[in-house]
Structure 1
Amino acid sequence: MEFGQDFVMGAAARVLEVIAFLVLAAFSRKICSRRFSWASDPPTDAPVGYCLSWRLAVEANNVRSWRTVPSWCLRHVEDYMTGGQYERDIELIVDQAAGYVKDIDVSEDGMDAWILDIDDTCISNLVYYRGRRYGVDPFDGPGFVAWAVRGECPAIPLVLRLFQRLIEAGFKVILVTGRDKASLGEATIANLQCEGFDGYERLIMRTVDWRGKGAVAFKSGVRKQLVEEGYRIWGNVGDQWSDLQGEFVGNRTFKIPNPMYFVP
């Protein structure tokens, strides 16, 4: 009798093990299949966590050469840019840069320099990109020029504060931008002055000699020229990785977040 009971109980236990194994296998296949689909074509109902991971990968430069923000991440990017987290992230970055500045003994020869990008580093194009659904819609070159030529890009306050601190500390601040000098030179100068960016050493814009060349090549070339002139580049601030890559990037680089577009 005891043998019969042990046999029945053992058989029941084995049946439960088989059922548990089949359920776990089915669940694992579902999860793995879903994760694999995200790699190429995330579902329109992708969870919030996916868009957070996508934005983190963008900032870490693990996602490259992307043309537009995934449509299913529109709300996430909008909330990030307008809900306060964007400003909090910039504040942390600026605080790190300011702490670094305090430890530098600025020379009296006037050759200690910092480089700042302009678009979405010093001044913001958020109004323009709101009309492009925060980067979900493809970049519109003529439309952007029409926006920028108005000279209404507001300062990013925390970066303006860093800019002013650098000037007060005795650094030569050099603004380097991929904006076209012929079409946007006057508007950019006026816009910067209106927003409080006074006292910079030089504004360097893209000229006809650099048309057709990527941002890394252009900005590396500019920095190389500055170093050859004798400048010591202590810091480099930009919202694109292409602002901070290539040659002569400086002693330290600081990346301003930007999940709305990618400049190669």
Structure 2
Amino acid sequence: MALLFFLFLATTLSMGSPHKEPIPGHKIHLLSPRTGSGGDYVPGLSCLSWRFGVETNNIVGWITVPGQCKDYVGHYMLGDQYRKDSSIVANEALRYAQSLTLGRDGKDVWVFDIDETTLSNLPYYAGHGFGVEPYNPELFNKWVMEGKAPALPESLELYKKLMGLGTRVVFLTGRPEEQRNVTANNLRQAGYHTWEKLVLKAASYSGKKAMVYKSREREKLEKSGYRIIGNMGDQWSDLLGTNVGNRTFKLPDPMYYIS
């Protein structure tokens, strides 16, 4: 019976969505059994309700995914629903962009975050507990330096259509400045072939919250004459603060929280 269940689980995770191809370059990992380590256990918790609270920014400041929600988050991220949720955000963003009349000066820009927005780190998180394990900067940076993160397909398609509309793209990421070359190469390999600016976090922002850093960088863009017509990210800290743009779009991410 145990063998039959294992084969069923392996087949189910490998099939993915009947309508969407898996994210290119990422392997489907079987979810490991819960051992009691990792995120805190919360009695009576509904993981679906927890994810709703996270995405609506009602649950804030959390460090790890609750221990009993590891399998739920893993199946969500590897399954069809994550892709459907990403699609509805990207499609709405495109409808909005298509409704605009752009200026002729090339100063209309769309701001994209990178991690879990334009590039997907699912190959890393699938092997590290889908957010149940505490964030390990050494291991994550080692993954980043491989430069193998695939594109989130829905964001890549949006990017291509925005470029076709004449919108310029700015990537604004919390990755440190020393990861510029590997990030630029990874973006190009994933299909993001050109951009107006690639903004990485300078050492002067060390210790400052992401919302403060991104607000200041968006302010710099606007002071230099750019108009932020759209802003997309997976974290609320990508979208709150000042100079957020004419409209913001939040992609799903129940794996981690950045303030």
The AA in structure 2 aligned to 1:143 is: L
Distance (Å, rounded) in 2 between the aligned partners of 1:145 and 1:62: 29
Instruction: Tell me if 1:188 matches 2:216.
Output: no
Aligned to 1:140: 136
Distance (Å, rounded) in 2 between the aligned partners of 1:142 and 1:87: 29
Unmatched runs of 5 consecutive residues or more in structure 2: 1-39
Deviation at 1:123, TM superposition (A): 0.4
Deviation at 1:158, TM superposition (A): 0.8
Distance (Å, rounded) in 1 between the aligned partners of 2:136 and 2:42: 25
TM-score, normalising length: structure 1: 0.81
Aligned to 2:220: 225
The AA in structure 1 aligned to 2:42 is: P
Unmatched runs of 5 consecutive residues or more in structure 1: 1-39
Distance (Å, rounded) in 1 between the aligned partners of 2:197 and 2:209: 21
Deviations 1:13-39 (A, max 9, x none): xxxxxxxxxxxxxxxxxxxxxxxxxxx
Aligned to 1:54: 50
Instruction: Tell me if 1:76 matches 2:76.
Output: no
Deviations 1:62-96 (A, max 9, x none): 00010000010111101111111000001111110
Aligned to 1:253: 248
Q: Which has the higher helix share?
A: 1
Instruction: Tell me if 1:120 matches 2:116.
Output: yes
One of 90, 95, 117 as aligned partner of 1:94: 90
Distance (Å, rounded) in 1 between the aligned partners of 2:193 and 2:102: 20
Deviation at 1:42, TM superposition (A): 2.5
What is the aligned-residue RMSD (CA, Å)?
1.2
Over alpha carbons, which structure has the higher Rg?
1
Please state whether the residue corresponding to 1:149 is helix, strand or coil. helix
Aligned to 1:153: 149
Aligned to 1:42: 42
Identity %: 42
Deviation at 1:130, TM superposition (A): 1.2
Aligned to 1:25: none
Distance (Å, rounded) in 2 between the aligned partners of 1:41 and 1:196: 40
- Extract structure 1 runs of 4+ deviating beyond 2 A: 40-43
Distance (Å, rounded) in 2 between the aligned partners of 1:149 and 1:256: 24
